[in-house]
Amino acid sequence: MISLPFITLILLTGYCILDKKAPKQVDGYFPKFAIAFMVTFTILNEAIDLLYTILH
């Protein structure tokens, strides 16, 4: 299973990217975090699916 620090790092990276790209669109901490979490979860999910497909 993927470690918690790794997930946290991805979330923070997503948050920082969003903060730089579209600071006007996402005002407030919680919306930014929620969007970053959704994006990260989707990317992570796709990556795991792809890895599973390749390995099996």
**pTM higher than 0.95, yes or no?**
no
Please report, as a single letter, which amino acid is at residue 11: L
Rounded to the nearest 10 degrees, what angle do helices 4-21 and 29-55 cross at? 120
What is the pLDDT, as a whole number, of residue 24? Answer: 64
Which domain covers residue 14, as residue numbers? 4-55
What is the pLDDT, as a whole number, of residue 25? Answer: 60
* Tens digit of each residue's pLDDT (9 = 90 or more) over 19-31: 676 666 656 666 7
Q: Are 44 and 2 in contact (CB under 8 A)?
A: yes
In the chain (56 residues long), the average pLDDT of successive 10-residue segments reads 72 73 64 76 84 84
Structural domain count, the chain: 1
